[in-house]
Amino acid sequence: MCKENFSIVGRIWINCNDDSFIGNGKIELLERIKQLGSLRKAAAEMKMSYRQAWINIDKMNKASNKQVVILKRGGREGGIAQITEFGEKILITYKNLQSDFEVFLTEQTKKLNDI
Amino acid sequence: MCKENFSIVGRIWINCNDDSFIGNGKIELLERIKQLGSLRKAAAEMKMSYRQAWINIDKMNKASNKQVVILKRGGREGGIAQITEFGEKILITYKNLQSDFEVFLTEQTKKLNDI
DNA sequence: CTTCGTTATGTTGATTAATGAATAACGGTG
DNA sequence: CACCGTTATTCATTAATCAACATAACGAAG
């Protein structure tokens, strides 16, 4: 009657020094930056305001002692946004994490049979 | 340098028909109701406004076809709040779930060694 | 030294969420 | 049938969040 309507869901993120470091939103932002080379375009594509996108990147860059994205202004193109090697590592780490988490959620949902 | 500052954190909750059914806050509310027999006192103890507490219970009671808490007004005591057997089941289920989730989180945090 | 598109930053307004006050409704008990 | 403390509900105010606009700063290229 009831059981098939219930499911376990959730969210995970990475903390740095007990402050939120990166989660779903910033990961998507990183991926688009990597693809587009522009913070403005990345933000626009995912309908995030440029201001918020910039603040997100700024926080990430300052949270640990390693930069995640390099932002430069000026030049022929107006500026560039480039993901660092550390940023790439974060991407890979988070993807594996998210994948494991989804397995966990479906497993736990299966356990609900007897509720 | 960096790795020991990073940790994986997250939240999980139970959905019913793709709507949020119960999470940390409501679980704590349920526990206090069970202990105190009063919605007002339960809300006060955890510094949740009575209004929000009542809305939470109401949503839960209407989300599935089973009542989680029985609320009655009137009577010598002014009224009572009583958790149902289904509510107890939810409590147990969620605690096991939360316990497994914390194991998952610490496991994943250990994997961060190489970041 | 002008142009260009981006990064960088402040400010204002709008939308939404949460809080708290106030009050009605209730029903055992005496 | 009056009392009591709780549940039930409305309402206005406040708080917090977010979006949008405006504009300065920048630096390579021509």
Give me the mean pLDDT over the A97-108 stretch. Answer: 98
B6 CA vs D23 C1’ separation (Å): 38
- Contact residues, chain B, for A18 at CB < 8 Å: 7
Q: Could you tell me the pTM of the whole model?
A: 0.91
CATH code for B21-109?
1.10.10.10
Give me the mean pLDDT over the B105-110 stretch. Answer: 97
Tell me if B10 and A101 make a contact (CB, 8 A cut-off).
yes
Interval A50-75: pLDDT, tens: 999 999 999 999 998 899 999 999 99
Tell me whether A60 touches chain B (CB under 8 Å).
no
Distance from C-alpha of B47 to C-alpha of B53, rounded to nearest angstrom: 10
Interval A6-45: pLDDT, tens: 999 999 999 999 889 999 999 999 999 999 999 999 999 9
Question: What single-letter amino acid sits at A48?
Answer: M
- B84-92 contact pairs (CB < 8 A, 24+): B87/B30, B87/B34, B88/B34, B89/A115, B90/A115, B90/B14, B90/B22, B90/B27, B90/B30, B91/B27, B91/B30, B91/B31, B91/B34
Closest nucleotide C1' to the C-alpha of B76: C28
pLDDT of residue A1: 46
Question: What single-letter amino acid sits at B88?
Answer: E
A4 — pLDDT class (breaks 50, 70, 90): low
Strand partners, B13: A9
- Contact residues, chain A, for B12 at CB < 8 Å: 8-10, 105, 108
Tell me whether B2 touches chain A (CB under 8 Å).
yes
Q: What is the DSSP string of A24-90?
A: HHHHHHHHHHHHHS-HHHHHHHTT--HHHHHHHHHHHHHHSSS-SEEEEE-STTSEEEEE-HHHHHH
Give me the mean pLDDT over the B95-111 stretch. Answer: 97
Distance from C-alpha of B90 to C-alpha of B83, rounded to nearest angstrom: 10
CATH code for A24-102?
1.10.10.10
Tell me if B15 and A8 make a contact (CB, 8 A cut-off).
yes
Please tell me which residue of chain A has the smallest CA distance to B91. A115
DSSP secondary structure letter of residue B98: H
Tell me if B2 and A104 make a contact (CB, 8 A cut-off).
no
Give me the mean pLDDT over the A92-114 stretch. Answer: 94
Q: Backbone phi, then psi, for B37, in 5-degree steps?
A: 70, 15
Whether any strand C atom is under 7 angstroms from the Cβ of B111: the reply reads no
Residue whose entry in the numeric block shows the structure tokens 């930069």: A67
Tell me if A8 and B115 make a contact (CB, 8 A cut-off).
no
Nearest to A50 by CA among A22, A36, A29, A31: A29
- Contact (Cβ atoms closer than 8 angstroms) between residue B10 and residue B102: no
Interface test with B, best of A18, A20, A93 (most B CBs within 10 A): A93
Q: Backbone phi, then psi, for A18, in 5-degree steps?
A: 65, 10
Please tell me which residue of chain B has the smallest CA distance to A90. B115
Question: What single-letter amino acid sits at A68?
Answer: V
Q: How many CB atoms lie within 10 A of CB A64?
A: 19
B79 CA vs C22 C1’ separation (Å): 20
Domain extents in chain B: 21-109
Q: Strand B6-16 vs strand A6-16: parallel, antiparallel, or unpaired? A: antiparallel
Q: If DSSP states are collapsed to H, E and C, what string results for A39-57? A: HHHHHHHCCCCHHHHHHHH
Please tell me which residue of chain B has the smallest CA distance to A91. B115
Tell me if B15 and A1 make a contact (CB, 8 A cut-off).
no
